Structure 1
Amino acid sequence: MKIPSLNQIRKADQYCIDSESISSAQLIERAAKGCFDWIIHNKSFKIRKYPFIVLVGNGKNGGDGLSLSYMLHLYGAIVFVYGINISNHFSNEFLINKKKILQKKINFKMINEGEKFPVLNQENYLIDAIFGTGFNRTMNQYWKFFFHYINEKKFKEVISIDIPSGLFMEKSHENFEGIIKATHTLTFQVPKLSFLLPNYADYVGKWHLINIGWKDDCIRKIQTKNFYIDDESIHAIYKKKIRKKFTHKGNYGHGIIIGGSFGMIGSVVLSATASFRTGIGKLSVYVPSCGYQIIQNTLPEAIVNTDVEKHYISNIVLSNDKINAIGIGIGMGFHSKTVYALESFLLKIKNKKIPMVIDADAINILSHQLLLELLPKETILTPHPKEFQRLLCRSWKNDYEKLHFLKEMSKKHKIFIVLKGAHSVISTPNGYLYFNSTGNPGMSTSGSGDVLTGMIMSFLSQGYSPKESCIMGVYLHGLAGDIASKKLSEEAIIANDIIHHIGEAYLKIKI
């Protein structure tokens, strides 16, 4: 799914209006109807028991809120509407819908700058339709205080229409005063980039897509470098690799996991097990000799190769068998001989064109030894934010700057980077970003990243491209975690639970 810019969203809305010969007010009514349908079908809302307070601005977003107020009133809800008069300029959409609610004698009051704030009952639901996606300026102190007043109330639910009022869609905030904190954001047609960034999670709450009828041919014409990984994009990748009847293990690749050190062999077990569960045909592991018995006992399907050293890796040697993909770095530690072994290995394979995933300790070695120039093209790195910061050798001011650095590093070194977290983001060598849609906080647990590395390496071994492997890896990894959380709760998930539910995740994407 594409994540368009503000200008592209405006053009798509206008295309919808022109192609259907409808007015802007009619498109707003369609958007309001989508929000209304979401509210009445959401079982957590007791619509006829608790009143709605609706805050509307002067523009089109206010028109959405007024139209929604009208629909809620007709449905039997008690509605109180407050017009937030910031500019004294009223859109046509606002005026049309204001007339409709006044004709129905729905409670309506304008709030002008400098007036005493109204007394609002926090036992009500609040609908925020003050500012839309085009808002990009700083508010004065009066309205900042008003927004703070709203946020201090403990309303039953706060629903923002399209975007939380005061949140910029395409640029960072110097501070976070003057943003409505939503529990739900009902956004139109496409995700907004700010919804996917950690800085804004407390303001966006849970966001939900409301279809307003954009045309497929219009969506196809949108040129963007930001994407949201959804079911449709996964099906498009997966259907090319559906297994055929007369295949064998040789058709699904031979990968190798390289890592481990004394006390950290479990990370290799997790990564290797995840590789098998994701569909690899044949798997080798390379570990210090202390890991031999552990791997043999816990994962008899794997081929075990060991280093001459007992507690750490000192020299990485690939078997004579053809290797289709490499996963390296999991639990390997920072012994001086291990650091040298990694550097020597990267020099040896630089021109062999073997797809590779680098994770964990190997990433930290890269950052300290400045070995990024040794990476083969299209290598995949899977850092968490702190590891990425070490790679950069600098911090970032905000999430937008972080994304800029992410793209620049991928382009400069011609590598893929999977920056792990909520909505893990994949950056590509051509400057594209892909944000994941699956996963939950329960996956913030030791070994979860090792599982992801094994999954991505498995996809590479099976012949998926590096970009496809990253996308499939983060999506299936998150989906398996989501299935586990529904059965066990987020608090109870461990890394093995993610592995155990990979099969169910596969079954789900096959539907």
Structure 2
Amino acid sequence: MKILSLNQIKKIDQYCIDNEYISSIELMERAAKSCFYWIMNHFHPLHKVIVLAGNGKNGGDGLALARMLYQHGVDITVYILYISNHLSPEFVINKNKIFKYGIELKKIKKGDPFPFLNRNSILIDAIFGIGLNRSINKYWKSFFHFINDNKFTSVISIDIPSGIFMEKNREDLEVIIKADYTLTFQVPKLPFFFPDYADYVGKWDLLNIGWKDEYTNNIPVKNFYLDKKCIRSIYKKRKKFSHKGNFGHGLLIGGHYGMIGSMVLSAKGSFRIGIGKLSVYVPRCGYQIIQTIIPEAIVNTDLRDNFISNIPNDIPVNAIGIGMGMGKNPITAYALESFFFKNKKKETPMVIDADAINILSDKLNILNFIPENTILTPHPKEFHRLYGPWKNDYQKLDNLKKLAKKHTFYLVLKGAHTVIATPNGDLYFNSTGNPGMSTAGSGDVLTGIITGLLAQGYSPKDSCLMGVYLHGLSGDLASIELNEESLIAGDLLNYIGKSYQEIKK
């Protein structure tokens, strides 16, 4: 699914109006009706609702929604916030419609005392919408503080929480309405994927207002929301007469004394995602562990007992995953450096994770010897060590794109809405996963999954997209039965098969 810019959204709205021969008010009715149905389905019985409406288009949405709720017997209180002198035509039309139903419209202007608001109400935020691009004055900042300090039954923002800028960073986060739910129209908005805004966006839902696929198909974008439709288009169905040789041979390299479990999780991830054959290279202390727990794997050991001292580059495989539980022993770091130097001209797809990334952070010149189209899977702290700090989420994404483009890498920045950066500057935000996956070993499973997909012949890009999505979906399915708090990395392995079943539905 495409993530559109503000101008692109405006153009599609206008295209919809022009090609369906409807007015902007009729399109606004669709938007309000989709919000109305969502609210009626999620809050029952519904008694008291307060609507805060600005005097722009978002305010028009709020007034139309207020009218629909009133018609269905809901106790409605509407406040018009006159933050600017400009009144949009849609706002004026919906304001006149409200009057016909005898609904009282209360006004709030700069300098007015703040009104008493019944906390036993649902608050609808329809103040600014996606068009806001400048700061508000001191009075309205205080008013927003006043709203956030009240504990309403629930706060619902229309399209985007008021105060968030669509396309630039906001440092004064305290002047954003804190929503429990954000009802956004047709496509997700980029700020929804930023950790800085998580407490303000709350849970967000996409509402359909009737855009047709033809409206968005030819619009070029650089940001995407990874959904089931995309993964279905990537998935390769197995043929009846296939054999293990058709699904590749992978090699996982890592582990040191006390951290062999990382390799166990990665190896199981590769097998569960469907790899045909897997070799595992570990220090000697890991031999019995791997051989006992994963009899399906071929185990190769280093000469050293407790850490890796030399990494072979002569094992013929279709994909390599390296770094899980490897440690940063100087001898291991030198072995990793030598391995990359020897493999610069090889075309074997590779995933670099964990301690291998940390070693690279100490020796950045090694990045120049890593083959193009290699996949790196850092978490935020590892990426910070690898690239440097960032001031805000926009800069973080910019750093991610710069590194991917400079070295022709695929970068998988793990976290809520894991983001995948491609060498051509595209960003893909994942739609699966949950906080229960914030547990030791979860990333090791992901590396095994992506390595397994690479070995099966999926491209580096498709391996990232499919691996991240199925990994998160496995976590979602596991959390339904086990709950987020009790989830451990090993649980993800048991739901990879079910995640495959989900995308086939």
The two structures have a TM-score, normalised by structure 1, of 0.98
Query: How far is 1:199 from its partner?
Result: 0.5
Q: Structure 2: 5+ residue runs without aligned partners?
A: none
Structure 1 residues 50-100: Cα deviation after superposition (integer angstroms, max 9, x where no partner): 300000000110000000001111111111000000112211111111111
Partner of 2:369 in structure 1?
A: 374
Partner of 1:437 in structure 2?
A: 431
> One-letter code of the match for 2:37?
D
3-state DSSP of counterpart to 1:128: strand
> One-letter code of the match for 2:219?
I
| 1:326 maps to which of 313, 320, 323 | 320
**1:21 aligned onto 2:21:** yes
CA contact 1:316–1:345 (8 Å) conserved in 2: yes
CA–CA distance in 1 between the matches of 2:104 and 2:477? Answer: 45
CA contact 1:325–1:461 (8 Å) conserved in 2: yes
Structure 1 residues 130-179: Cα deviation after superposition (integer angstroms, max 9, x where no partner): 00101010000000000000000101110000000111011001211321
| 2:264 maps to which of 261, 269, 276 | 269
| 2:504 maps to which of 494, 507, 510 | 510
| 2:205 maps to which of 204, 208, 211 | 208
Structure 1 residues 294-314: Cα deviation after superposition (integer angstroms, max 9, x where no partner): 001000000000000000000
CA–CA distance in 2 between the matches of 1:21 and 1:148? Answer: 42
How do 1:295-444 and structure 2 match up within 5 A?
295-318=290-313, 320=315, 322-370=316-364, 371-392=366-387, 394-444=388-438
**1:294 aligned onto 2:292:** no
How do 1:109-148 and structure 2 match up within 5 A?
109-148=106-145
CA–CA distance in 2 between the matches of 1:369 and 1:209? Answer: 44
Partner of 2:54 in structure 1?
A: 57
CA contact 1:278–1:502 (8 Å) conserved in 2: yes
Partner of 1:479 in structure 2?
A: 473
Query: How far is 1:315 from its partner?
Result: 0.5
> One-letter code of the match for 2:367?
L
Query: How far is 1:444 from its partner?
Result: 0.2
Query: How far is 1:440 from its partner?
Result: 0.3
CA–CA distance in 2 between the matches of 1:473 and 1:387? Answer: 20
Query: How far is 1:102 from its partner?
Result: 1.4
CA–CA distance in 2 between the matches of 1:352 and 1:366? Answer: 19
**1:79 aligned onto 2:73:** no
How many pairs does the alignment contain? Answer: 504
CA–CA distance in 2 between the matches of 1:170 and 1:319? Answer: 48
Query: How far is 1:107 from its partner?
Result: 2.9
Partner of 2:44 in structure 1?
A: 46
How do 1:218-257 and structure 2 match up within 5 A?
218-238=215-235, 241-257=236-252
Structure 1 residues 423-448: Cα deviation after superposition (integer angstroms, max 9, x where no partner): 00000111110000000000000000
| 1:95 maps to which of 89, 92, 97 | 92
CA–CA distance in 1 between the matches of 2:172 and 2:80? Answer: 25
> One-letter code of the match for 2:406?
K
3-state DSSP of counterpart to 2:485: helix
CA–CA distance in 2 between the matches of 1:37 and 1:483? Answer: 27
CA–CA distance in 2 between the matches of 1:447 and 1:107? Answer: 57
3-state DSSP of counterpart to 1:76: coil
CA–CA distance in 2 between the matches of 1:484 and 1:214? Answer: 34
Query: How far is 1:229 from its partner?
Result: 0.1
CA–CA distance in 2 between the matches of 1:319 and 1:496? Answer: 31
Partner of 2:178 in structure 1?
A: 181
Q: Structure 1: 5+ residue runs without aligned partners?
A: none
CA contact 2:254–2:323 (8 Å) conserved in 1: yes
CA–CA distance in 1 between the matches of 2:85 and 2:340? Answer: 64
What is the percentage of aligned positions where both structures have the same residue? 64
Structure 1 residues 175-228: Cα deviation after superposition (integer angstroms, max 9, x where no partner): 113210000000000000000010000000000001111121111121110000
Query: How far is 1:108 from its partner?
Result: 1.5
Query: How far is 1:318 from its partner?
Result: 4.2
C-alpha root-mean-square deviation of aligned residues, in Å?
A: 0.8
CA contact 1:331–1:360 (8 Å) conserved in 2: yes
Partner of 2:11 in structure 1?
A: 11
CA–CA distance in 2 between the matches of 1:403 and 1:164? Answer: 22
CA–CA distance in 1 between the matches of 2:123 and 2:431? Answer: 27
CA contact 1:47–1:77 (8 Å) conserved in 2: no
> One-letter code of the match for 1:253?
G
Structure 1 residues 363-411: Cα deviation after superposition (integer angstroms, max 9, x where no partner): 000010111111100000000001001111x210000000000000000
Structure 1 residues 268-314: Cα deviation after superposition (integer angstroms, max 9, x where no partner): 00000010000000000000000000001000000000000000000
3-state DSSP of counterpart to 2:217: helix
Partner of 1:196 in structure 2?
A: 193
Structure 1 residues 231-251: Cα deviation after superposition (integer angstroms, max 9, x where no partner): 11111111xx10010000000
> One-letter code of the match for 1:6?
L
CA–CA distance in 2 between the matches of 1:317 and 1:470? Answer: 25
Structure 1 segments of 4 or more deviating over 2 A?
none
CA–CA distance in 2 between the matches of 1:414 and 1:284? Answer: 27
**1:165 aligned onto 2:162:** yes
CA contact 2:313–2:339 (8 Å) conserved in 1: no
CA–CA distance in 2 between the matches of 1:319 and 1:86? Answer: 69
The two structures have a TM-score, normalised by structure 2, of 0.99
> One-letter code of the match for 1:368?
D
> One-letter code of the match for 2:148?
N
CA–CA distance in 2 between the matches of 1:175 and 1:69? Answer: 30
CA contact 1:261–1:313 (8 Å) conserved in 2: yes
